[in-house]
Amino acid sequence: YNADPPVSSIAAPLSGAYYRVLAAVNGGAASAFSNVALSTVAISIRDLQTAGPNNCYSRAANTFTVACPPDAAGWFKPAGTNNPWDFNFASQPWTHFHSYVILSSATDVGGNVQVALSSAGFTFDTLLPTATMTTAQWIKASVNAFVGTSTDAPAGISGLSLALSSAAGAANSWWDGSSFSGGAPVYLAATVYTPGYPNDTWSWTRPPLTDGQAYTLRTSATDYAGNNWTRNQTPTVTYD
């Protein structure tokens, strides 16, 4: 006799995370007792930015066009065994700036159904972050840092690094932490990074510069979804 329900879990996506690529979802399941087998695992995925009731994932159409649970049409069986289970999308069905909730439910051979459904929510983000230098084109000795702003939505920026060239990006002109001799850009983290609205702000303590020399600053911004944007800031900055 067994009246205890099985449980399922969701390993990917991570709840609360941002993704720019999500080709598959997966997880696991277990019955209450080791001698009771699992019968099925079912999952459902809801697009929170699409009006219901037909805003759950259709396995047949690879779109969010079927009714959501408790309607049975909103559930589908993933691939693989029940533990672990997985589902690979034929092509990514996600839309930028949309949030999604995936549910999983397990049933054992005795007909016991998971009571508290497992869930994980995530947001899809394909927008590149941006970073803009606001340092003046000409600087003097008292200006000891390059400064600027950056922005990204919805994920937000997870890191900003900078590289500095003394010869418009030519080989062997990049600051490597001790001299302008790096053969390729050497990215160093911003000295200070402050989240804000509508823009974040950043500063990077500059290395020693040569009087009359123009410098090219290259920024590399990455958001929490993994989107990266790297660019040379213009205009160049001349130390005088």
Q: What is the pLDDT of residues 25-45, one digit of tens each?
A: 999 999 999 889 999 999 999
178 falls in which pLDDT band (50, 70, 90)?
very high
CA distance 126 to 21: 8
List all residues 6 or more positions away from 36 whose beta carbon is below 8 Å from its beta carbon.
Answer: 2, 6, 108, 109, 110
* Nearest to 19, CA basis, from 127, 131, 150: 127
Q: Residue 202: which pLDDT band, with cuts at 50, 70 and 90?
A: very high
* pLDDT digits 0-9 by tens, 77-134: 999 889 999 999 999 999 999 999 999 999 999 999 999 999 999 999 999 999 999 9
Say which amino acid occupies 149.
Answer: T
Q: Which two tokens stand for residue 189?
A: 């983290």
- Measuring CA to CA, which residue among 119, 111, 82 is closest to residue 4? 111
> DSSP H helical segments within 32-190, as ranges?
none
Q: What is the pLDDT of residue 238?
A: 98
Residue 3 has what pLDDT? 85
Q: State how far the Cα of 195 lies from the Cα of 151, in Å rounded to an integer.
A: 9
Q: What is the mean pLDDT of the chain?
A: 97
Give the β-pairing of 214-223 and 237-239.
antiparallel
Per-residue pLDDT band at 164 (split at 50, 70, 90): very high
User: What one-character DSSP code corresponds to residue 59?
Assistant: T
Give the pTM: 0.91
Can you tell me the distance from the alpha carbon of 30 to that of 27, in angstroms, rounded to the nearest whole number? 11
Query: Would you say 125 and 227 are in contact if contact means Cβ atoms under 8 Å apart?
Result: yes
Q: Are 222 and 157 in contact (CB under 8 A)?
A: yes
Whether 91 and 27 have beta carbons less than 8 Å apart is answered as: no
Q: What percent of the chain has pLDDT over 90?
A: 97
CA 103 to chain centre: 20
User: Mean pLDDT across the stretch 187-203?
Assistant: 97
